[in-house]
Amino acid sequence: MSELRTRDVVDADLPAVLAIRNRSFGPLGVGGDVWWQRVSAETLGGRMIAVVDESDTVLGAGRIRPYEQAWGGRHLRMGGVAGVYVEPSARGRGVATTLTRALITRMGELGDVVSCLFPTTATLYRRSGYEVGGVQTRTTYAAHLLRGLGTPRAGAGRSSGLRPAKPDDAQLMHELARRKHARHCASGPMPRSVTALEGMLEREELIAYVVDGGYVVYDLSEQAVTVEELVATTPQAAATLWGVVGSGSSAAPTVHTYLDPRDPVALVLCGLPAVEVQQIPWMGRVVDLAAAFGERGFSSHSSVEVDLVVDDAQVPANSGRWTLSVSGGRGTAHRTDDLPVRGAAGTRGSSATTSDEPVDAAAVHVDARGLSALWCGWSVSRLRQAGLASGGTPDDDAALDAAFVCQPFITEYF
């Protein structure tokens, strides 16, 4: 078996990478060439890695797309793993595993503190510490119900300033999205960068409108409207934007939305979603525990201090015993390998711990998968049932649950 190694993809490799992509997933469709050039330009120069054999033949490649992702309403640097392609004739030789682990290492070098991906197979990514974090949800509504929201109610008024969005609006749209995530303490969504928004608006890929206090981005095709994003800071802005979305109900009677499953529209709409709700699971991973925990947002009413022992074979810097502290909406993670274990109440640990037990038995233990699941809001009790957590006390479980509680979701497929 030939020896595998990894290196950066360079411009001369792109035809080989594209050929592997086409042999794996079929030829690119209409407009695919433009898309390929765009994502390649975005990730060449350090964010696209190849696996090669001893003759430097490319056997697989993958990209790390640069994103921000909200966790607890604060935005962290996130590496979106995409475009993982393996030459069909080289499958079964460890190419995909070698590639995935190289991507994780590179994300750490680049300063991405968390990572997400949409898996083609869960087993591959679980071997590298990823775990299911949430879903991308498509909810379907009848357009006439949304059109009715645009009719001003008595005393409510209508938001003013509705107009088509222009590239100059990209900065405002980006800031509005970030404010929305902070206001709702959201976990999972990714605000489009200013550059991405400018490109989208220049290319007129989607339909976009802005209004005083909000904006909407949607697509119109096949007698259906698909809402990619709707941000509103006031009820009036939301009503105006939803009214625009539903205004063509006679020609496009169906509206699909890729939004927060708990978007406020569900509370004001005079009707329920259609039954065909579709969900696509995504997986997450913690790349840098200390940085990610320190940058994440937490409830300002939570006060937690608890030990956690992590075993992360792919990211040794994550491995060891940590003291996680939350106070005043901020968190810190300190390495405490040489200190006695502290339980949730700040004690040595469970009184049931015997003198011949390792001292770390008093703390909750997780591997990389367990850490990633915990980060994404899975309760410790569920991790225990899945075999992804051990040790610790009920108080430790409750403290960890309080620190990481969230309902993460992603709206954009990448």
Supply 332's token pair: 């810190």
CB count in 10 Å sphere of residue 233: 16
In the chain, residues under CATH classification 3.30.1050.10 are 288-404
Element of type H or E holding 220 = strand 214-221
Instruction: Name the DSSP class of 324.
Output: E
Q: What is the DSSP string of 294-334?
A: HHS---TT--EEEEEEEE-SS-GGG-EEEEEEEETTEEEEE
Domain 5-129 in this protein, CATH class = alpha beta
Supply 373's token pair: 């699941």
Of 234, 194, 229, give the one whose Cα is nearest residue 211: 234
Residue type, 312: D
Residue type, 392: G
Q: Which residue has the tokens 């991507």?
A: 103
CB count in 10 Å sphere of residue 144: 15
Separation CA 74–CA 399 (nearest Å): 21
Q: How many CA atoms lie within 13 A of 95 on its CB side?
A: 24
Q: Which residue has the tokens 């190694």?
A: 5
In the chain, DSSP finds a helix count (H) and a strand count (E) of 13, 17
Q: Which residue has the tokens 């390929």?
A: 36
Residue 158 confidence (pLDDT): 57
Separation CA 191–CA 67 (nearest Å): 8
Separation CA 214–CA 177 (nearest Å): 9
Separation CA 349–CA 176 (nearest Å): 45
Supply 162's token pair: 């509705």
Q: What is the DSSP string of 8-69?
A: E--GGGHHHHHHHHHHHH----TTHHHHHHHHHHHHTTTSEEEEE-TT--EEEEEEEEEEEE
**Contact indicator for 258, 137 with CB cutoff of 8 Å:** yes
Separation CA 206–CA 288 (nearest Å): 35
Separation CA 195–CA 197 (nearest Å): 5
pTM given for the model: 0.90
**Helix H segments across 85-220?**
95-110, 122-126, 143-149, 170-183, 194-203
pLDDT tens by residue, the chain, 414 residues: 569 999 999 999 999 999 999 999 999 988 899 889 999 999 999 999 999 999 999 999 999 999 999 999 999 999 999 999 999 999 999 999 999 999 999 999 999 999 999 999 999 999 999 999 999 999 999 999 999 887 755 445 556 789 999 999 999 999 999 999 999 999 999 999 999 999 999 988 899 999 999 999 999 987 899 999 999 999 999 999 999 999 989 889 999 999 999 999 989 888 778 767 889 999 999 999 999 999 999 999 999 999 999 999 999 999 999 999 999 999 999 999 877 655 554 433 333 333 344 445 689 999 999 999 999 999 999 999 999 999 999 999 999 999 999 999 999 999
Could you give the 3-state DSSP secondary structure of residue 243? helix
Residue 229 confidence (pLDDT): 95
Q: Which residues contact 251 (CB under 8 A, 6 or more apart)?
A: 223
Rg (CA), the chain: 23
Phi and psi at 297, nearest 5°, equal -90, 145
Phi and psi at 184, nearest 5°, equal -95, 5
CATH number corresponding to 137-280: 3.40.630.30
In the chain, residues under CATH classification 3.40.630.30 are 5-129, 137-280
Instruction: Name the DSSP class of 409.
Output: B
CATH architecture of 288-404: 2-Layer Sandwich (3.30)
Phi and psi at 124, nearest 5°, equal -55, -50
Q: What is the DSSP string of 263-280?
A: -THHHH-SS---S--EEE
**CA end-to-end distance (rounded Å), the chain:** 34
10 Å CB burial of residue 182 (0-12, 13-18, 19+) is middle
Separation CA 190–CA 79 (nearest Å): 11
